[in-house]
Amino acid sequence: MWDYSEKVLDHYRNPRNVGKIDNADLIGEAGSLACGDSLKLYLKLDGDKIIDAKFQTFGCGSAVASSSILTEMIIGKTLDEAKKITNKDIAEELGGLPQEKMHCSVMGHEALEDALKKYYGDSIDDDLPQDTADKIVCTCFNVTENQIWEAIKVNNLKTVEEVTNYTKAGGACGRCKSTIKDIIDTYWKGAPKREDVHLTATQKILKISKVIEQQISPELQKDGGDIEFIDLDGNKVKVKLTGMCQGCKNSRMTIKTFVESILKEKVDSNLEVVQE
Amino acid sequence: MIYLDNNATTAIDKKVLEEMLPYLSGEYANPSSMYDFAKKPAAAIREARVKVRDFFGAQNEKDIFFTSCGSESANMAIKGVLNCNKEKRHIITTKVEHPCVLNTYKWFEKQGYEVDYIGVNAQGELDVEELKEKLRKDTALVSVMYANNETGVIHPVEEIAEYVKSHSPETRVFVDGVQAAGKIPLNVKETKIDLLGVSGHKFHAPKGIGALYVKPDVRLTPLINGGHQERGMRAGTENVPYIVGIGKAAELAQDALKYEATEVKRLRDKLESGILRSVFNARLNTSISGRVPNTSNIGFEYVEGELILLHLSDIGVCASSGSACTSGSLEPSHVLRAMGVPFTALHGSIRFSLSRFNTEDEIDYVIGKMPAIMDKLTKISPFQDELIELKKRKGL
């Protein structure tokens, strides 16, 4: 049983401002039925002031409570004031949410942002290059890089688990977890500048084995397989797939699209990976 | 409070508790000790084993091993069998097993085993033909749950065991009987099942006690090594009060089987048809027949399960949901997904599971309250057009 605050209980039991505004000036949407929660937010404006807000939510107790309290928070505010509201503000207004439920507050914020977008036009986070912003990172829950970036920034997130709690990304098949980790690292360390510095053969070998050990092997182990680094011949990286990967009909794909692309990105763009 | 979550756990029967109490206070002797004071607990364990033997419908009480829970029973069976037969590296199980079984096989997959997971149809019924096709000479273990915890659907484990033994006699058959025990008769001696595990707290014994039936010719390695207890198969000083508890609970459950099949079933059917009749967005996720008598899994379209449970809880009703939000994971139930329950109802599926302690008044109360709850919750849903369409289709 979740440890919901009194305020969450009150808002899912007696949600405020439920329904639809027929001639709404702005409508925002977030989530989807297939993903397990979705929210529609309707705003009625007088000039730049929100004079009415209503919501319809498909979701759990904390999703309904987040939507309900959001409408209370924005009624009477100007759009500029509403724009400043973050998911953190929603969660705080509810007296806190369980960590695993923080994504409900994020959904509230996303619906608000979606509605305001129609007023302000697209204003993607300045920190993130435009072309990567809408890239879907988590295909299970359709979470974009921008959404993850935003959640990290607003909520000071440091781990993949926290990102999953806040955005759901990585919460189903888990394949995007390494990408999420990269986004976290990029956010906190600044984008790693990859210059094609010349590496000696020994440096290359050391770097390849480090990348294999820390980034490639753990992913393969999740599927019951593993990888061994055998040798480096010029730019040819010889590896051996073991465990479940051995003899797997997708092993070529794994080598090319996964192992090689990571090594190219992290070590040297001229590398080629072959199976022993 | 109205407790309709008996597939999660059950209340301890008062008669069970009464039998246990002496062994929680005065009768504390170690049953292995050599003085008169140890006679009573030693005899109590023997007696409990006989009762559990009868409950399983087993030939001999030596075939019964006490464990700490259903998960331990499953682990003891699976790991015990596979460790004794290391040259066979293939396992067949189902997509809808309980996580305690499923995750054990996932672990074996990582050790290099090949595992086939057999699917189910839209009613949750196992594709037995697919299972038969997957059987190989190097299949070490076929593992099928007797009844599914979420849907109550009964799998034809006797037929499967029969087939496996006639085509590959050395392949072992393990049945997770946790959700069948106390709901339908178990008659292991009439079947070709090699191992069958149960958990006491699903049939009114306390939590922390389980049992495993092992056919006499089946070799196992122990999960817990140590002393001679449980004939060396499960070391550790016997949990006397709880063993007494599962014995008594087994006896009472055996006596109540007819009541389960008639009265509990009648109440379950009444609850089910009552809700399906009065709530327009409700759908039965299984067939009417082929289920244990106490379980009903109903999908409420366009409404999320946790929200339903919270509102049921507010009126004192306990049920459960395969919804992602209740489990702490972000994905809905693997069982309902394996069945292909439409995504409109997947997140809003509720399991009601009764016991012999539920009353007609309780069922009437829930049937009476459900339409108002659903009326409130569908109004919050963003899928108003779809709900109106659904209402029309149902002619309401």
The closest of B169, B177, B147 to B58, measured between CA atoms, is B177
Residue B383 in contact with partner chain A when CB distance is under 8 A: yes
Give the C-alpha separation, B395 to A94, whole Å. 40
Domain with CATH 1.10.10.1100 in chain A: 130-189
Contact B354, B294 (CB under 8 A): yes
Residues of chain A with pLDDT under 70: 122-133, 191-197, 247-250
Give the C-alpha separation, B62 to B395, whole Å. 59
Across the interface, whether the CB atoms of B383 and A100 are under 8 A apart is answered no
Residues of chain B with pLDDT under 70: 324-329, 396
Cβ density class B336-348: b for 16+ within 10 Å, e for less: bebbebebbbbbb
- Torsion over CA of B180, B182, B185 and B187, rounded to 10 degrees? 80
Domains of chain B: 13-253 (3.40.640.10), 257-393 (3.90.1150.10)
* Distant-in-sequence, close-in-space partners of B273: CB < 8 Å, separation ≥ 6: none
The closest of B220, B187, B171 to B67, measured between CA atoms, is B220
Across the interface, whether the CB atoms of B382 and A39 are under 8 A apart is answered yes
3-state secondary structure of B76: helix
> Using a CB-CB distance cutoff of 8 angstroms, which residues of chain A are in contact with residue B103?
none
Min distance A54 CA to chain B CA atoms (Å): 10
Nearest by CB to A60, from B307, B314, B379: name it.
B307
Hey, what are B88's tokens?
């066979």
Hey, what are B243's tokens?
């063993």
- Positions of E strands within chain B: 2-3, 64-67, 90-94, 114-118, 139-145, 172-176, 195-199, 210-214, 282-284, 295-300, 317-318, 320-321, 349-353
Domain with CATH 3.90.1010.10 in chain A: 6-120
> Using a CB-CB distance cutoff of 8 angstroms, which residues of chain B are in contact with residue A164?
330
Residue A98 in contact with partner chain B when CB distance is under 8 A: no
Instruction: For residue B59, count other CB atoms closer than 10 A to its CB.
Output: 13
Please state the ipTM of this predicted complex: 0.89
Nearest residue in B to A35, CA atom = B331
> Using a CB-CB distance cutoff of 8 angstroms, which residues of chain B are in contact with residue A57?
380-382
CA-based radius of gyration for chain A: 23
Across the interface, whether the CB atoms of B330 and A60 are under 8 A apart is answered no
> Using a CB-CB distance cutoff of 8 angstroms, which residues of chain B are in contact with residue A56?
380-382, 384
The closest of B107, B88, B3, B11 to B317, measured between CA atoms, is B3
* Distant-in-sequence, close-in-space partners of A225: CB < 8 Å, separation ≥ 6: A241, A242, A243, A244, A245, A246, A248
**Cα angle for residues B203, B206, B211 (degrees, 5° grid):** 65
Class for domain A6-120, per CATH? alpha beta
Nearest residue in B to A65, CA atom = B307
Across the interface, whether the CB atoms of A61 and B306 are under 8 A apart is answered yes
- Tell me the pLDDT tens digit for each residue of B15-31: 999 999 999 999 999 99
Cβ density class A33-50: b for 16+ within 10 Å, e for less: bebbbbbbbbbbeeeeeb
Domain with CATH 3.30.300.130 in chain A: 201-275
In this structure, the strands spanning B317-318 and B2-3 are: parallel
Min distance B109 CA to chain A CA atoms (Å): 7
What amino acid is encoded at A276 in this protein? E
Options 1.10.10.1100, 3.20.20.70, 1.10.540.10, 1.10.10.10; CATH for A130-189 is 1.10.10.1100
The structure tokens 């977008």 sit at A117
> Using a CB-CB distance cutoff of 8 angstroms, which residues of chain A are in contact with residue B304?
36-37, 58-60, 63
Residue B105 in contact with partner chain A when CB distance is under 8 A: no
Active site residue B100: no
What strand order describes the sheet that includes B195-199?
Answer: B64-67, B210-214, B195-199, B172-176, B139-145, B90-94, B114-118
Min distance B162 CA to chain A CA atoms (Å): 32
Nearest by CB to B307, from A12, A172, A221: name it.
A12
The closest of B313, B310, B335 to B322, measured between CA atoms, is B335
Say what the pTM is: 0.83
Answer yes or no: CATH 3.40.50.300 is held by domain A201-275: no
> Using a CB-CB distance cutoff of 8 angstroms, which residues of chain A are in contact with residue B384?
20, 56
Give the C-alpha separation, B340 to A198, whole Å. 54
Across the interface, whether the CB atoms of B331 and A40 are under 8 A apart is answered no
Hey, what are B153's tokens?
């659907």
Between helix A102-120 and helix A145-155 the angle, nearest 10°, is: 110
